Amino acid sequence: MKFTGRIIGIRKFKNIIFIKLVNIIKSIQVVIKNKVTYLSKFLKLGFIIKVSGKNKSTKTGEKSIFCRNIKLLSKCEGFPNKYFKNIDKEFSYRNRYIDLVINKKTRDTFNLRFKIIKQIRIFFYKKKFIEVETPILNNTYSGAEAKPFITKNNFMKKNNYLRISPELQLKKLIVGGYKKIFEIGKNFRNESSSKMHNPEFSMVEYYYINKNYIDIMNLTKELISKVTINTLGKNIINYKKNIINISKYEILNIDQAVIKYSGINNISKDFLIKNIKGKILSKKKKNLLYQYFEENITKKIIKPTFIIGQPKIFSPLALKKNGKVERFELYISGMEIANGFSELNNPKEQLKRFKKQKKEYDKDFIKALKFGMPKTAGCGIGIDRLVMLISNCSNIKDVILFPFMK
């Protein structure tokens, strides 16, 4: 048997050296019975070596390689002297290459992350979706409510923006004739980082013509369930102290969710204003109710729950119906995992909503809508949060290889 890895443990016992070798996939013990004196001076923690020998168990039953040949591939400087378990989180985030070597949980988490992304792709490929690419650098910013990163284009002598969302570009492709598309990529929001937020994050967005928000809701449910089963081998997720059946979902409108999780049946406008912590964004009760829901209720939703009935003011790109919009937000264990809706395809109404927001908007998107976009539904899923959920990690920094650090 041959194995290449990095030394993270050396132990001598009489005339035998026991070495613990790790690579990104697995770890194994190497047993060396000859040249002990020479090798004990030669081999150090952190060295990368290649060994070959017979694979068998020691007297204690541990599977090991009984070394016949050993070759040094790389020396190492700066291997941590601290006992591995005492290395703090900040050190791990700032030195991910060391963290990956010494922390099996980190390796397992990222191997699971990449498996999740692979399963997302497989799901859409099987559904005959086409994977597309849209630009990260844009002339305007739109597609979501967030502050953009601004960068200077020296050649054009103008500002460009890192995308907040690929939504508008993807819908232009729907106008161009694509029927089922998805994109996995990076988005950027110029905001603070926290356990739930990173300024650079990964999303999958997908669009399907001749469908509405109920159709895309069912597709989203199927996607998350299959990805979970194909990565964990079961539809049960253990997240923090909660046991979550990822195949069972509830649908609640805003009013029902507020009543269910606040325990208050008759919520007045005065109550909402008094209990909203952030800046009051609207004086209308239905909008205050949504703001109260976002601030106070979302963290209480543990069971997979689709929230519907959002007000138009907070959903400028969603199709309006019966005074509300055809939109859903998926919450699991207090986290917003997905956001989807029936797409607004009326250029006059879209322009009116953009102007009401009183900020820069993508004029080319309005031009595309005038060209004609079929009935469409779309959704975006935060990959980082989905990985947090499936891997039982409570901090987004634990599922991003190189998280943003101050």
Token digits of residue 61: 């039953």
In this prediction, residues 145-173 reach a mean pLDDT of 92
Contact 347, 175 (CB under 8 A): no
**CATH code of domain 104-249+303-399:** 3.30.930.10
State CA 309 to chain mean position distance.
25
Q: Measured on CA atoms in the order 352, 355, 357, 359, is the torsion positive or negative? A: positive
The Cα angle at residue 52 between residues 67 and 57, in degrees rounded to 5? 55
Class of the domain covering 2-79: mainly beta
Contact 146, 189 (CB under 8 A): yes
Strand order of the β-sheet with 158-162 is 137-138, 158-162, 149-153
Strands (E) in 23-156, as ranges, are: 27-32, 48-57, 63-74, 130-131, 137-138, 149-153
Banded pLDDT at 74 (limits 50, 70, 90):
very high
DSSP 296: I
**Confidence (pLDDT) at 36:** 58
H or E segment and range at residue 242: strand 242-245
DSSP 115: H
Share of the chain above pLDDT 70, in %: 97
What does the alpha-carbon distance between residue 103 and residue 86 come to, in Å, rounded to a whole number? 11
* Residue owning tokens 């102007």: 355
Q: Measured on CA atoms in the order 144, 147, 149, 152, is the torsion positive or negative? A: positive
Amino acid at 379: C
Give every CB contact of residue 326 below 8 A, 6+ residues apart in sequence. Answer: 212, 213, 318, 319, 320, 341, 342
Would you list the DSSP string of 130-193? EE----SEESS--SSSSPPEEEEETTTTEEEEE-S-SHHHHHHHHHTT-SEEEEEEEEE--S--
pLDDT 10s digits, 192-237: 899 999 999 999 999 999 999 999 999 999 999 999 999 999 999 9
For the chain, the residue count is 406
Query: Taking the CA of residue 315 as centre, how many other CA atoms within 13 Å lie in the half-sphere pointing to its CB?
Result: 25
- Is 66 a residue whose pLDDT tops 80? yes
| φ/ψ of residue 279, rounded to 5 | -65, 135
Strand order of the β-sheet with 327-332 is 130-131, 180-188, 200-209, 376-382, 335-342, 327-332, 305-308, 250-253
Q: Which residue ranges make up each domain of the chain?
A: 2-79, 104-249+303-399
State CA 96 to chain mean position distance.
18
- The torsion region of residue 263 among left (phi > 0), alpha (psi -120 to 50) and beta comes to left
- Is 41 a residue whose pLDDT tops 80? no
Which neighbouring-strand residues pair with 70? 51
* Residue owning tokens 């859903």: 328
Token digits of residue 112: 């699971």
**Confidence (pLDDT) at 257:** 96
DSSP 330: E
**Confidence (pLDDT) at 143:** 66
Q: Please tell me which residue, 141 or 326, carries the higher pLDDT value.
A: 326
**Confidence (pLDDT) at 28:** 95
pLDDT 10s digits, 23-36: 999 999 999 887 65
DSSP H helices in 163-296? 167-175, 213-232, 254-262, 269-275, 285-292
What does the alpha-carbon distance between residue 336 and residue 50 come to, in Å, rounded to a whole number? 45
Q: What predicted TM-score, i.e. pTM, was given to this entire model?
A: 0.93
